[in-house]
Chain A
Amino acid sequence: MKTYQADEKGYYGEFGGAFIPEMLYPNTEELRQNYIRIMQEPSFKEEFDQLLKDYVGRPTPLYFADRLSKKYNTKIYLKREDLCHTGAHKVNNTIGQILMAKKLGKNRIIAETGAGQHGVATATVCALMGIECIVYMGEIDIARQAPNVARMKMLGAEVRPALSGSRTLKDATNEAIRDWINNPVDTHYIIGSVVGPHPYPDMVARFQSVISEEIKWQLKEKEGRENPDYVVACVGGGSNAAGAYYHYLDNPDVGIIAVEAAGKGIDTGESAATSALGKVGIIHGSKTLLMQTGDGQITEPYSISAGLDYPGVGPMHANLFTSGRGEFISITDDDAMNAGLLLSKMEGIIPAIESSHALAILECRKFKPEDIVVINLSGRGDKDLNNYIEYFNL
């Protein structure tokens, strides 16, 4: 059977693998050899499930958005990842990886962060476990995201500025990788998305797969069926999407819709729509679609949403795009912001701007009245309040 999951070498079709310098081989090899075994250990599963329930607050609701459904004349459910502790789905992965790090005997955690959401989620679980935490963040992002920098500091993490290159997410990722090269024995690198060398994309997707696992039984309770007609999620690197699609990937009855950030428009040069603008290449150890110059230099993406401006997508999503399994739509800053405002006014939920991109497709993509459309509401909008204030002159 054709599968859209990773194979044992970490390939999704032609995408994925581990294109890493030899210095990183022992680090990733240790993970590769152990991650599935550890995830299947009963003691690991028990602790993971317990923390997701008592600490993160899972299961998150699957909420039928009545007024929104009437407006768009279709059945819309929102998967409320915004109600997770720390305000987004990111923590599902960091809980899983901190437990993995403990099993591997690591006593030092590093992470990269763009907007600071993954940094906060990592600092949170490090505080929970009493483990040293260093978060790399681009110097420019540190200036843009002061509240999240303060959160990480309160949680006991050290925030180190990435001063190289464009001083944003991709450079923070480079710095974290360099740290890992320099500290190969005691350190675990918690990557925040379904990107990076094998086994990260698969491991992170598995930790996030709790999202679609819950959607299945929750929808069964509400609609008498496990399968929606469509699952919709925004894609930067793509971890919330990977989690929302995971248990539906190989089920052709479920349509998969991926929403990317068009920024100011695909043709403006200020965009993060990788499926439209990217080409196959290697970024951060993975063969995938990425935005680059004709000469193979990685370019800097743009989106109003700091969580979506990664120049690549995870290899799972590159394969969903090129195989045609996923429908890819890109949404501009303006359309996303308006969708965020609309959800706030109609359902009393202020979404993260990332999630607003997913919501915005309701304006441009028609569904049938009887369709069940599950939209993954990956995060809440508190962190974006300043953007909303500026944009709408609130």
Chain B
Amino acid sequence: MANRINTKLKEDGKLLSIYFTAGYPKLADTVEIIQQLEKNGVDMIEIGLPFSDPLADGPTIQQSSTAALKNGMTTEILFNQLKDIRKSVSIPLIIMGYFNPMFQYGVEAFCKKCQEIGIDGLIIPDLPVDVYHEEYQEMFEKYGLINVFLITPQTSDERIRFIDSVSNGFIYMVSSASVTGAQSGFGDEQQTYFHRIADMKLDNPQIVGFGISNSETFEQATKSAKGAIIGSAFIKHLNGHGVDGISAFTKTIR
């Protein structure tokens, strides 16, 4: 069976992907958030496995992670919450988290569990492509998981080519030199970067993340990329409106 991510990437149109932190605002919100997002036309979901020390994230995601951990979220609980998710949800699901919790769970056990549940891919910001390629790629592929790598405006062409060669889904294009969190629009520098990457004609499509917060930034980001990921802006919306406000949020994007 083809991976749901690959199937989705072949569809026409731009993809809207949403990140949320599992276990936030409430421990048991995970499944409902996923169902609501699919119902409201979101194409793909990143489920954040919270970590105590999320280096690549800004204050919004850090706070939601701290709160989720306080709520009692663990790897085991997340897997339990997701065990029947494929009975009700059919869009691609990706788990995004830092390497240490996966390492403690056991990387192979983690991959196996993801396959059982029907997780399609992983994003692990602090697992570098070199280490993945040497130590884990075979294992991920054995369990049918797509691993997604980040590139930034500072990533060299040579390294982007290498990342493209190791990837088999999409490339997560970080919009600017920053941690996660909304900023006000994209300037010339970002546009140049978006064009540079588009001109490289990579094998894997690109999805832009970091700094997407509304329909304007979504449109700018997806002019040359296949889609965009929204994280912090969605979490802020959850803060104010809770799970019931999801349809209001997705309507502001497209």
Residues in chain A within 8 A of chain B (CB atoms): 17-23, 25-26, 164-165, 170-171, 174, 177-178, 181-185, 279-285, 292, 294-299
Contact = CB atoms under 8 A, between A and B. Distances in A.
Highest count of chain B CB atoms <10 Å: which of A25, A279, A299: A25
The 3 closest A-B pairs by CB, nearest first: A296-B104, A296-B101, A22-B150
Interface stretch (B33-41, B151-159, B222-230): B151-159
A26 B178 CA distance: 13
Interface string B54-78: 1110110011001001000011100
Contacts of B101: 295-297
Given A22-B150, A171-B53, 13 more contacts: A18-B128, A21-B126, A23-B174, A25-B154, A165-B62, A178-B55, A183-B177, A185-B154, A281-B104, A283-B53, A292-B104, A296-B104, A297-B101
B150 A164 contact: no
Contacts of B174: 22-23
A177 B55 contact: yes
B100 interface: yes
Nearest to A171: B53
Contacts of B126: 19-21, 282, 285
A181 B54 CA distance: 13
A273 B18 CA distance: 41
Nearest to A19: B126
Contacts of B104: 279, 281, 292, 294-296
A26 B100 contact: no
Contact of A22 (B125, B131, B178): B125
A282 B100 contact: yes
Nearest to B101: A296
Contacts of A19: 99, 126-128, 131
B187 to A, nearest CB: 15
Contact of B52 (A17, A22, A184, A297): A297
Band of interface residues on B: 35 or more
A20 B100 contact: no
A283 to B, nearest CB: 7
A182 B53 contact: no
Given A21-B55, A170-B53, A181 B178 contact: yes
A296 B103 contact: yes
Contact of B59 (A164, A181, A292): A164
Interface string B168-182: 000000100111000
A296 B59 contact: no
Given A184-B154, A295-B75, A174 B128 contact: no
B127 A178 contact: no
Contacts of A280: 103
Contacts of A283: 53, 100
Contacts of A23: 56, 150, 152, 154, 174, 177-179
A17 to B, nearest CB: 7
A181 B61 CA distance: 16
